[in-house]
Amino acid sequence: MKVRTFLLAMLCLVALAGRALAADELDEVSRLHRTGQDAAALQQADRFLAAHPRDPQMRFMKAVILGDEGRTVEARTILESLTEDYPDLAEPYNNLAALYAASGDYPKARAALEQALRLKPDYATAHENLGDIYVVLAGRSYAEALRLDPARPGITAKLALVRQLAVPRNAGPPQADPASAPTK
Q: Is the pLDDT of residue 95 over 50?
A: yes
Q: What is the pLDDT averaged over residues 24-47?
A: 95
Contact 67, 176 (CB under 8 A): yes
> What integer pLDDT is reported at residue 20 of this predicted model?
56
Closest residue by Cα to residue 82 from 72, 93, 71: 93
User: Residue 74 falls within a domain, yes or no?
Assistant: yes
Q: Is the pLDDT of residue 117 over 60?
A: yes
User: Residue 16 falls within a domain, yes or no?
Assistant: no
User: Residue 91 falls within a domain, yes or no?
Assistant: yes
Sign for the pseudo-dihedral over CA of 60, 62, 65, 68: negative
> What integer pLDDT is reported at residue 181 of this predicted model?
57
> What integer pLDDT is reported at residue 12 of this predicted model?
40
User: Residue 63 falls within a domain, yes or no?
Assistant: yes
Contacts of 71 (CB under 8 A, 6+ apart): none
Closest residue by Cα to residue 26 from 1, 5, 47: 47
DSSP 90: S
Could you report the per-residue pLDDT of 11-29, keeping only the tens digit for each? 443 444 445 556 889 999 9
Q: How far apart are CA 120 and CA 125, in angstroms?
A: 11
> What integer pLDDT is reported at residue 13 of this predicted model?
37
Phi first, then psi: what are they for 69, rounded to 5°?
-85, 0
Contacts of 145 (CB under 8 A, 6+ apart): 152, 155
User: Residue 177 falls within a domain, yes or no?
Assistant: no
**For the chain, what percent of residues have pLDDT higher than 70?**
78
Average pLDDT value for the chain: 85
> What integer pLDDT is reported at residue 178 of this predicted model?
59
Which CATH number belongs to the domain containing residue 120 in this structure? Answer: 1.25.40.10
User: Residue 11 falls within a domain, yes or no?
Assistant: no
Q: Is the pLDDT of residue 113 over 70?
A: yes
Helix, strand, or coil (residue 151): coil
Q: Is the pLDDT of residue 171 over 80?
A: no
Total count of domains within the chain: 1
Contact 33, 65 (CB under 8 A): yes
Q: Is the pLDDT of residue 128 over 80?
A: yes
Q: How far apart are CA 132 and CA 104, in angstroms?
A: 13
